[in-house]
Amino acid sequence: MVDKTRFIRALRPFSFVVAVSSCLLGVVLAYVDGAQNIYLGALLVVTGLILQSAVNLINDYSDRENREYSTEQRERIIRNMKIGRALFLMVVVLGLYMVSIRGLPLLALGLVGILGAWGYTCGTINYKQRGLGVVLVFFLMGVMMIGGCYYTMSGNYQWSIFWLSIPFSLFTSLLLLANELRDFEEDSKNGIATLTVRIGFNHSIKLYGVMLSLIYISSLLLYWQGMLSTVLLLLIPLIATPAPLRLLHRGPDSRKVLPQLTGRLYFVYSAAFLVTLMIEPSLPI
C-alpha cells in the first residue's frame, strides 16, 4: 500500500493543476483585458501553489484518529502539518503585499479564502467530514481564486469572469470527487463522511459523469455567448476523457490512479482553454 504520509505523497502533486490553472486563468483574463504586469501574475501563480501545498499537507491531520497509522506515520503527519502551517503563513504575507496594491476588498476575499482552505479538514468546520468538500472547492479554489487573481491584476471585476470560470471550477470539484471515489472503501471503513460516502458510490459515479458533461456544455455556451473565439482546441481534451471514465466501475486497485488521470485531463483542457483565450486580443467584457 502506498504510504500517503510521506512528504511528496502528502503534497499530492497531481492536484497542483488546480492552483496553476485557476490562477493562470485569472491572470490570462486580466492580461488580454490590458493588465500586463507579468511579475505580479507570476507571484499570483506561486502564491496559489503555496496555498494548494499547504492545504494538501494538513489534509491528513484531522483523519489521524480515524485511520490506522504507525508511530512513524503519525510523526510524519504532524511534521507535514507544521510545514503546512508555515506555508499558510507565507500565503498570508504574500496576500498582505497584494492587499497593499489593491486595497481592502482583496483583504476580505483573502480572509475567506484562507479560512476556507484551513477549514477543509481542520478546526470545527472540517467541511470534508460534512460532505461539503466537492461543493465548496468549486467556489474557493475555482470561482474565488480565479476572480481574485483577475481582480489583483486588473483592479476590477466583471461578471463575465464568473461565467468564464465555470468550467475550471467544475474541474476543481471533479478532481476532488475523483479523490473521494479512489478512497471510498477506506473512508467508509474509517467513518470519514465525504460526499461520496454520504450519497453512495454509484450516485457519485453518476455525479462524476454529470460534472464532466457540464464542463463541455458550459464551454459550448461560452462560445455561443461570444466569450470564446472557438471550441476547436477544446476537442483535444476529448482524447484524454475515456481514460478516467473507464476506471469508474473498476475495483479499488484500478481506481488508485483516477485522481491522476482526472488531473491530466484537467491539465489538457486548461491548456487548450487558455490558448483559446489568447487567440483573441481582447475579451467581450
**Each residue's pLDDT tens digit in the chain (285 positions)?**
566 788 888 889 989 999 999 999 999 999 998 898 999 999 999 999 999 999 999 887 766 666 677 888 888 989 999 999 999 999 999 999 999 999 988 999 989 888 887 777 666 667 777 888 899 999 999 999 999 999 999 999 999 999 999 999 999 999 999 999 999 998 898 888 899 999 999 999 999 999 999 999 999 999 999 999 999 999 999 999 999 999 998 999 999 999 999 999 999 999 999 999 988 644 544
- 159 vs 173: CA distance, rounded Å: 21
Task: Take residue 50 and report the three cell numbers written for it.
Answer: 503555496
Second-level CATH architecture of 7-279: Orthogonal Bundle (1.10)
Task: Take residue 148 and report the three cell numbers written for it.
Answer: 481574485
Work out the end-to-end distance of the chain between its first and last CA atoms, rounded to an integer number of angstroms: 50
- 148 vs 131: CA distance, rounded Å: 25
For helices 159-182 and 201-224, the axis angle rounded to 10 degrees is 160
Buried b / exposed e along 57-79 (16+ C-beta atoms within 10 A): bbbbbbbeeebebeeebbebbee
Task: Take residue 51 and report the three cell numbers written for it.
Answer: 496555498
pTM: 0.92
Domain limits, the chain? 7-279
Other CB atoms closer than 10 Å to residue 152's CB: what's the count? 27
- 93 vs 231: CA distance, rounded Å: 39
133, amino acid identity: G
Helix (H, G, I), strand (E, B) or coil at 111: helix
Name which of 150, 87, 152, 149 is nearest 118 in CA terms: 87
Task: Take residue 195 and report the three cell numbers written for it.
Answer: 460526499
CA distances from 229 to 140, 239, 267, 282 (A): 27, 21, 20, 10
In this structure, are residues 204 and 196 in contact, taking their beta carbons and an 8 Å threshold?
Answer: yes
